[in-house]
Amino acid sequence: MSVTQNGKGYNRTLAFTIMMLAAISGSLMQTSLGTALPSLMKAFDISISTAQQATTWFLLTNGIMVPLSAYLANRVPTKYLQLSASLALLVGIIITMLTPENSNSWWIFVAGRIVTALGVGIVMPLLQIVIINMYAPEERGAAMGMMGLVVGMGPAIGPTLTGWILKENHTIFGLTLSDHWQSIFIIPFIIIAIATLLTPVFVKNVIQTSKIKMDYFSVVLSTIGFGLFLWGFTNVSTQGWGDWSQVILPISAGIVVIILFGWRQLKLDKPFLDIRVFMNKEFTIASAQIILLTMAMYGVEMMLPTYLQNVRGLNPFDSGLTLMWGALCLGLISPIAGILYNKVGTKRLSFVGFSMLALGTLPYIYLTPETPTLLITVLYTMRMAGVALTMMPLTTAAMSALPDSMGSHGTAANNTVRQVASSVVVALMTSVVQNVTSNHLPSSSLKTTDPILYASKALNASMDGFQIAFILSFIFAVIGIFLLIFLKSGKESNK
């Protein structure tokens, strides 16, 4: 039995489990929509660029909320903040599920996604902050490992689960899931509904709060700065790097506003987001490695489904199924990595993890249209095992390098850089693949004179684009290995 900030006893494991359920629902909502875009385009009679707004606005809202999570965690009692976030998730899912199917109602669907993102932007960082407050330093590795189930496995399973649901009718616990787009929200809805009902009873106030005055100017700067920056990068995939109004200007303006935001935080006695956490060497190095790990992971995770579908001709479900073993491996190893963290330390564990990631990525550089699917699955599983061995131990090391009083700010900063890294690598990889492919495409006249040769050269052009993306992912992993020189062992038991 653990004790709250008010000295009252509570069941720590049960509270953590309920918060994990909410995080699982939010995690599924982050990535499950991509596979359903064709179904949404048909149902609402919209273009792909319009359909992608559901993902774009979700990422923007989520990215804006993460920096705000530190203030909210220190200001609002844990139970009520968790309940508010869960309700936002629940309401957002309901709005999206009940949206009428016509192009004029699409904005309602997008609004539902925005409300959902408000909840996800709080649920994820709050879970990490709660771990710091509920668990002793020597226990955090295992708890963070369990959280790895949510951070890594949820997004990996989401697209496959969506493809499975949309492929044909299924029955779960007596409930029929039709092959209609609304069905993809039923499982996350059930999970978050259970978590919402149980939160008032079992989740307690474990974070010390105080009446911190809201610095509204910081909120405005944070919202505008990160909003513009992330919006600019999300536009790269459709507009290209040369678009001034929708890419260059938003990114540039976002950077300027973010700098102003950082300068203001350094001037405040009680900052909205205390960026002084980056003055801690161990925190900064671990955060930098998390960025590299995220970019190396997304570099392949984002491009491989496109290769499997566009080059190998697999449908979304089968391509997701090919990568499912990697997701399962990540889920199984994450808790084990948390236990190993206290035994061997961050440095050794991260070396093994980054090495597996690099070795698993290297063969992808030499992929061909005939590469056996089994080999692709094995290599992907190896990569995800490396991610599992590295992600949560690095996160734990970063948080443990800070005093507990700085935990909420460290968590917000850590999640913010991870969110930014995800947006940057998605834009970078997409643009690189598109540019390389376009530059290597044969002349359009060949399509008429020799269609077979044109198709062959076009396929090779696509492979050239994927090759560059995989090379960049390999480089990110190798840099991560070299940065380990500056990282301490990180054994909690030694502290």
Task: Quote the pLDDT of residue 252.
Answer: 94
Q: Which of 439, 480, 474 is nearest to 457 (CA)?
A: 439
pLDDT of the residue at 435: 74
Question: What pLDDT does 168 receive?
Answer: 61
Model-level pTM greater than 0.75?
A: yes
Same CATH topology for 1-211 and 277-495: the answer is: yes
Query: Above 60 in pLDDT, residue 379?
Result: yes
**What is the helix (H) or strand (E) element at residue 175, kind and residue range?**
strand 175-177
- Picking from 116, 486, 428, 157, the residue whose alpha carbon sits closest to that of residue 303 is 428
User: Could you tell me which of 63, 24, 44 has the C-alpha nearest to residue 420?
Assistant: 63
Report which listed range, 202-211, 240-249, 345-354, is most confident.
345-354
pLDDT of residue 494: 41
Two tokens at 128? Answer: 């990490």
pLDDT tier for residue 200 given thresholds of 50, 70 and 90: very high
Q: What is the pLDDT of residue 438?
A: 73
Decide which of 339 and 422 is more confident. 339
How far apart CA 205 and CA 207 sit, in angstroms, is 6
**Span of 112-116, 361-365, 442-446 with lowest mean pLDDT:** 442-446
| pLDDT value, residue 175 | 52
Where are the domains positioned within the chain? 1-211, 213-269, 277-495
Average pLDDT of the segment spanning 166-190: 68
Confidence of residue 177 (pLDDT cuts 50, 70, 90): low
pLDDT recorded at residue 237: 66
Is a pLDDT exceeding 60 seen at residue 490?
no
**Phi, psi dihedrals of residue 2, rounded to the nearest 5°:** -95, 170
pLDDT of 302 > 80? The answer is no
pLDDT band at 495 (very low <50, low <70, confident <90, very high): very low
Residue 413 banded pLDDT, cuts 50, 70, 90: confident
Amino acid 357: pLDDT:
95
What average pLDDT does this structure show over 485-493? Answer: 68
Q: What is the mean pLDDT of residues 413-435?
A: 76
pLDDT attached to residue 94: 95
- Would you place residue 155 in the very low, low, confident or very high pLDDT band (cuts 50, 70, 90)? low
CATH of domain 1-211: 1.20.1250.20
Identify the band that residue 354 occupies on the pLDDT scale cut at 50, 70 and 90.
very high
For residue 312, with 0-12 CB atoms within 10 Å meaning exposed, 13-18 middle and 19 or more buried, which class applies?
middle
CATH of region 277-495, choose from 3.10.20.30, 3.90.550.60, 1.10.132.10, 1.20.1250.20: 1.20.1250.20
Q: Is 240 buried (19+), middle (13-18) or exposed (0-12) by CB count in 10 A?
A: middle
At which residue do the structure tokens 């380990």 appear?
484
Neighbouring-strand partners of residue 176: 171
462: Cα separation from own chain's centroid: 26
Tokens of 117: 């993102």
Dihedral Cα 399, 404, 409, 414, nearest 10 deg:
10
Whole-number average pLDDT of the chain: 82
Mean of pLDDT values over 447-467: 75
Q: In whole angstroms, what is the distance from residue 262 CA to residue 228 CA?
A: 16
pLDDT higher than threshold 90 for residue 181: no
Q: Report the run of H or E that residue 410 belongs to, with start and end.
A: helix 407-440
